Amino acid sequence: MERLSKNTYSGSKENPIKVLQYGEGNFLRAFVDWQIEQMNQKADFNAGVAIIQPLPQGNAALLNEQDRLYTLFLQGMENGKPVRTHSVIGCVNKAINPYENYQDYLSLAGCETLRLVVSNTTEAGIAFDPACGPDDAPPTSYPAKLTQFLYRRYQVFGGAKDKGLIVIPCELIDRNGEKLKKCVLQYAEQWKLEHGFIEWLNQSNTFCCSLVDRIVPGYPRDTIDEVTKELGYIDKAVDVGELFHLWVIEGPKWISNEIPFEKAGLNVKVVADMTPYRTRKVRILNGAHTTLVPVAYLLHLDTVGEAVDDALAGKFLTQAVEREIIPTLDLPKQELEDFAKAVFDRFRNPFVKHYLMSIALNSFSKYETRVLPSLLEYLSRTKELPKHLVFSLAALLEFYRGKRGEESIALSDEDAVLELMKKQWAAYDGTEKSLLNLVRGVLSFESVWKQDLNLVPGLTNAVAKDLSEIEKSGMKKAVEQIVQGS
């Protein structure tokens, strides 16, 4: 059986590069690149994509092996019926690893047709690292890479006003576009770049905040043999996502005129204020994911679908969303309940095996952005701690012990987080006092939580109590107590 390539697939067309994409992972390929493909086919957008691998390790080489072609499966419920489709995505012209081909990367700054920059470099990707310099080839941080790129574009085109770009980050952090622009301006100042460049950045480039929504399980490793047989060719970059998609872009209305989202029938909203959409989505959908992961995984469940349908884990999550997350939001209650119902239907997508461990990546920063705001808002409104969200935090600490029974957990987080948890658990001697010290040590980690959580009234003791129960009785009995006590 042959590998997918331009020799075996003739349906792709090489269009002028209009999109620079930082990130070659499953999400952007199933979300942004799919939308580019839709606009090319339905709205004559005629756009090619240049993918930049943001880390030294990645999939650029894999994509290049099959001429940047890959198959995308979209699966889910539509009008009450299961729907499953697949198509080859052919809009990607280049996939560059700048750590190996730095000049190829920078040369794209001179591309006349380039107009749009998108990115997904995880929640930790948009951050200012003062160690990055203007001559690094490339710098490690994404904002530093982007600053270098924009400065080169400014130089190549002599600061031409019409050569600015629309920058739409897809990282799931609040005000992502503003934070990315702030980092770029910080680098411009630190690197002492000329005032004309800063003026060009501000006047000719448009940084938009955005919100993305599509569940993307990614490569179907459990069913790849059946998928390959169905396709009739080998594709090592197969991607799987759900049918549902939503992209909310906070920016000027003219973006809708330049990028034909609406003409292609895409669920993209260009709005003046994305805050209500973001809060609803992050707190309910993403917050539910992050609340669920450590609890369900330590109940020996492996996928979101299994967890939601599990009598215990499903009830725990339903109670958390209905009783502790929804009450912290200000949109109409019925609208929030309808959205939550749709979220649970999406979690039950019969086609998608969304592994809990794939959501567990960088769980500490995810808890801080997705769940902690609900916990603190609930406390503020009710003067009580939300039992389920507190328990999820305790379960997260247990998860980072790195064991599920006799099985080791492949933890994946920032080195500082992994070192912290290793050190805290190594100091635990089985006593209540050392467990309390462990909780205090973790909750004081301000680089993650953005505050000392030990100062939240009652939280330290509540987390320690739940963690003690998990240690003594096991996860199942500990969750049962939370569910039955609600």
| pLDDT value of position 331 | 82
Smallest CA-to-CA distance from 351 within 213, 216, 212 is with: 216
- β-bridge pairing 81-89 and 70-78: antiparallel
| pLDDT value of position 299 | 98
d(CA 463, CA 461): 6
Residue 70's identity, in one-letter code, is Y
pLDDT band at 77 (very low <50, low <70, confident <90, very high): confident
Percentage with pLDDT > 70 across the chain:
100
| pLDDT value of position 332 | 85
The answer to whether residues 63 and 51 touch, using CB atoms and an 8 Å cutoff, is: yes
pTM (two decimals): 0.71
Average pLDDT over the chain reads 95
| pLDDT value of position 51 | 98
Smallest CA-to-CA distance from 248 within 291, 216, 205, 282 is with: 282
- What residues contact residue 481 under an 8 Å CB cut-off, 6+ apart? 469
Q: Which ranges in 301-455 belong to alpha helices (H)?
A: 304-309, 311-319, 333-347, 356-359, 363-370, 372-382, 387-399, 415-426, 432-443, 446-449
Query: What is the DSSP track for 344-362?
Result: HHHHT-TT---BHHHH-TT
d(CA 95, CA 61): 8
- What residues contact residue 248 under an 8 Å CB cut-off, 6+ apart? 210, 211, 268, 269, 271, 274, 277, 278
Q: What is the pLDDT of residues 207-266, one digit of tens each?
A: 999 999 998 989 999 899 999 999 999 999 999 999 989 999 999 999 999 999 999 999
The answer to whether residues 172 and 369 touch, using CB atoms and an 8 Å cutoff, is: yes
Chain centroid to Cα 255, Å, comes to 23
Mean pLDDT score, 41-62: 96
pLDDT band at 80 (very low <50, low <70, confident <90, very high): low
Give buried/exposed letters for 38-73 (b at 16+ CB in 10 A, else e).
bbbeebebebbbbbbbbeeebbbeebeebbbbbbbb
The answer to whether residues 122 and 28 touch, using CB atoms and an 8 Å cutoff, is: no
Q: What is the pLDDT of residues 309-362, one digit of tens each?
A: 999 999 999 999 999 999 999 888 998 998 898 899 888 888 877 899 999 999
Q: What is the pLDDT of residues 142-199, one digit of tens each?
A: 999 999 999 999 999 999 999 999 999 999 888 999 999 999 999 999 999 999 999 9
Angle at which helices 287-298 and 475-484 cross, to 10°:
130
Distance of CA 400 to CAs 4, 375, 415, 417, Å? 39, 20, 13, 9
Q: Which two tokens stand for residue 105?
A: 């990367």
| pLDDT value of position 13 | 87
